[in-house]
Amino acid sequence: MAKRDYYEVLGLSKGASAAEIKKAYRKKAIEYHPDKNPDNKEAETKFKEAAEAYEVLSNADKKARYDQFGHQAFENGGGFGGGGMNMDDIFSQFGDIFGGGFGGGFSGFGGGGGQRRAKGSNLRIRVKLTLEEIANGVEKKIKVKRKVKAPGTTYKTCATCHGTGQVTRIANTILGRMQTSAPCNVCGGAGETIDKKPADADAQGLKIAEDTVTIKIPAGVVDGMQLKVSGKGNEAPGNGISGDIIVVIEEEHNDKLQREGDNLHYDLYVSYPEAVLGASKEIETVTGKVRIKIESGVQSGKILRLRGKGIPNINGYGRGDLLVHVNVWTPKTLNKQQREFFENMLDDEHFSPKPESSDKSFFEKVKDMFS
């Protein structure tokens, strides 16, 4: 398979500046990041391809060699072999490209090609959150049962692969001597096997332990969203790396507030006299209580928009609004005196509907809201 030109991989032309190379790679890394493209082999390949291109083009010396000799510059020694870069190397680049602090949030999948370390399996847990917790962000302490290395387990270098995790076979074929390598089936690619283990440990020298994990949930998460807590899943035997915890967000039903994206809807009921005379009403929002003024003569179906009283956007694009829907409560039973009053008002000028353009119909209001 012909290797693609590194500039082409990053969507650049030859002579691109260091800043342009960095910017282009950042874009590709976000686009093809494995967290965004789970179980997508094509994205993984493109992700690695972009990382390899950046590895060369971001290094003045390697870039000069590549500009002069192309891919041949790295054919013998110092190259990437057949397997390309491994995931851990790629993620270690991210400090440079995204500025520190990103390391913990992003994680790889335990090495794709080339040299690999065993990785513990992931744990999936569901976390139920109230709308208030979603609006404000929350820290949850969760009890999990995870596999950990059993104390007293010792490891020794695998005798079959001598710690490399790979076994190489030479086969004679009509095309000549072919060298192939595959993960060692004695140690499963870990490079180590168990020397001694306590009685309560499983075949891998692991045992189940209960652990409390603190999970920081940012404001604005959405039902069904998955967050990854790197390295808090099952441990791997030997020098392997721990798996992750996949946190699946579940939004609890709220009786009063309906969520629609980052906006919230609230049904407010006012009495007939309140609608006629005006009123001041208290509303429970996700950030506490708010007092709102109902103008005298308010019409049923009016929508009051409280800017910024909704849910913060998960990607940092501001905050949604709280839309208060006014419903005028019509009395269902009346006493004699009240009935007489309304009977007298049947032909009264003040009680006959005279909608103005500001008293838009429901459909016009909905249209406005989404335009």
Residues contributing to the site for Zn ion (CB under 5 A):
158, 160-161, 184, 186-187
Nearer to Zn ion, 182 or 248 (CB): 182
Q: For the purposes of burial, counting CB atoms within 10 Å of the CB of 307, is it exposed (0-12), middle (13-18) or buried (19 or more)?
A: exposed
In the bound complex, what is the minimum distance in angstroms from residue 260's beta carbon to Zn ion?
A: 55
Contact 330, 300 (CB under 8 A): no
Q: How far is the CB of 233 from Zn ion (least distance, A)?
A: 23
Beta strands, E only, 107-244: 123-129, 138-149, 154-157, 166-173, 176-183, 192-196, 206-217, 226-229
Shortest Cβ 196–Zn ion spacing (Å): 18
Phi-psi region of 165 (alpha: psi -120 to 50; beta: other; left: phi over 0): left
Specify the residue, 182 or 222, whose C-beta has the smaller distance to Zn ion: 182
Q: How many angstroms separate the CA atoms of 13 and 179, rounded?
A: 37
Q: Which is nearer to Zn ion, 107 or 193 (CB)?
A: 193
Please name the residues in contact with 104: beta carbons below 8 A apart, sequence gap of 6 or more. Answer: 230
CA 212 from chain center: how many Å? Answer: 22
Closest CA to 165 of 186, 195, 190, 193: 190
Q: Which is nearer to Zn ion, 160 or 230 (CB)?
A: 160
Minimal distance, residue 191 CB to Zn ion, in Å? 6
* Closer to Zn ion by Cβ: residue 118 or 227: 118
CB of residue 86 vs Zn ion: minimum separation in angstroms? 18
How do strand 303-306 and strand 288-294 relate by DSSP bridges?
A: unpaired
Nearer to Zn ion, 116 or 302 (CB): 116
User: Least CB distance from residue 101 to Zn ion, whole Å?
Assistant: 36
Minimum distance, C-beta of residue 35 to Zn ion, in the bound complex (Å) = 30
Nearer CB in complex with Zn ion: 124/156? 156
Least gap, CB of 152 to Zn ion (angstroms): 22
Q: Are strands 245-251 and 226-229 parallel, antiparallel or unpaired?
A: antiparallel
Task: Please state, in angstroms and as integers, the Cα–Cα distance from residue 138 to each residue in 14, 35, 135, 215, following that order.
Answer: 47, 22, 9, 8
Residues 33-69 as b/e (b if ≥16 CB within 10 A, e otherwise) read bbeeeeeeeebbebbbbbbbbbbbbbeeebbebbeee
CB atoms within 10 A of CB 144: 17
SS3 of 177, please? strand
The CB-of-163 to Zn ion minimum distance in angstroms stands at 7
CB closer to Zn ion, 186 vs 209: 186
Asked whether 164 and 191 are in contact (CB, 8 A), the reply is: yes
Closer of 34 and 188 to Zn ion (Cβ): 188
Phi/psi at 342 (5° precision): -70, -35
3-state secondary structure of 284: strand
